[in-house]
Amino acid sequence: MNIKRFFNLLIFFSCILSSSFSAPKIILKLDDFMVKDGQCGCIPTLDYLKLKQIKAAFGAVVMRVDSTVQQVWSPYMEAKNDRGEKLFEIWHHGWDHKKPEFLGTGYDYQKKHFDQANDLILKYLGIQMHTFGSPHNISDEETNQVIFENPNYKVFMLSSKVPSTNNGILYIDNRVNMENGTGNPQFDYFKEEYFKHKEEYKDYMILQGHPSMWTVEKLEEFKKIVDFLIAEGCEFVLPYEYYLKTKAPKKPF
């Protein structure tokens, strides 16, 4: 075998190995963010992520957000990493988070709740949301219709009713648990879940958490999870960013 052929084969097999062992992208889906009188229980988590330059998406329960939200959340919404990329995305997590809010409640009810929440975030923060995640991860066909009618929305996280036909919305559902019970992140538990799904979810994984419930000790467990994922070579991405990179229609030259 001549040297040129040898190096070509070496490059070929290196590419195969690199593809086989590439780490999944990570979407941090952080739920139940609220602000009242300038107070938000999720600030320690946001501060940590901002310091580490880790991208994360947090969902607002909009009825539980008041006008002080701008002074509380704006520093995070404006935060960028060293490459000039946004660190945080705010996503639509319903109006009142009642169970069920988006299952069996009818089109008119869901439309009203969806629009109220969308419009209030736009009013308070001047931000148009692009991603939706239903409270308790339960939804129905009416939910899909409501989201489809607002062309600003492109991503639905953890839908329980994915339509059989393509409606232009990206449904992302590769959930890997990092909380062993709501509000209880556990590093060892997460590692088992991660390796259980690693071969199945090669493109991306969604990790759901509830930072408003995290004590100092629980936040430390979350930090271990983040450090582990960094060591694995995972890239943290935002839901809408993932849509733009993978599913958005490409403009012609």
Report mean pLDDT in 10-residue bins for the chain, 253 residues.
55 45 92 96 97 98 95 96 97 95 97 98 97 97 97 97 91 97 98 96 97 98 98 97 85 44
Q: Which residues contact 133 (CB under 8 A, 6 or more apart)?
A: 29, 31, 59, 91, 92, 93, 156, 157, 158
Q: What pLDDT was estimated at residue 2?
A: 62
Q: What are phi and psi of 86, to 5 degrees?
A: -60, 140
Domain coordinates in residue numbering, the chain: 23-246
Q: What pLDDT was estimated at residue 20?
A: 42
Measured between alpha carbons, how far is 193 from 172 in angstroms, rounded to an integer?
A: 18
In one letter, which amino acid is 163? P
Architecture of domain 23-246: Alpha-Beta Barrel (3.20)
- In total, the chain counts a number of residues equal to 253
Helices vs. strands in the chain: H and E counts, helices first = 8, 7
Residue 149's closest CA among 166, 169, 134?
Answer: 169
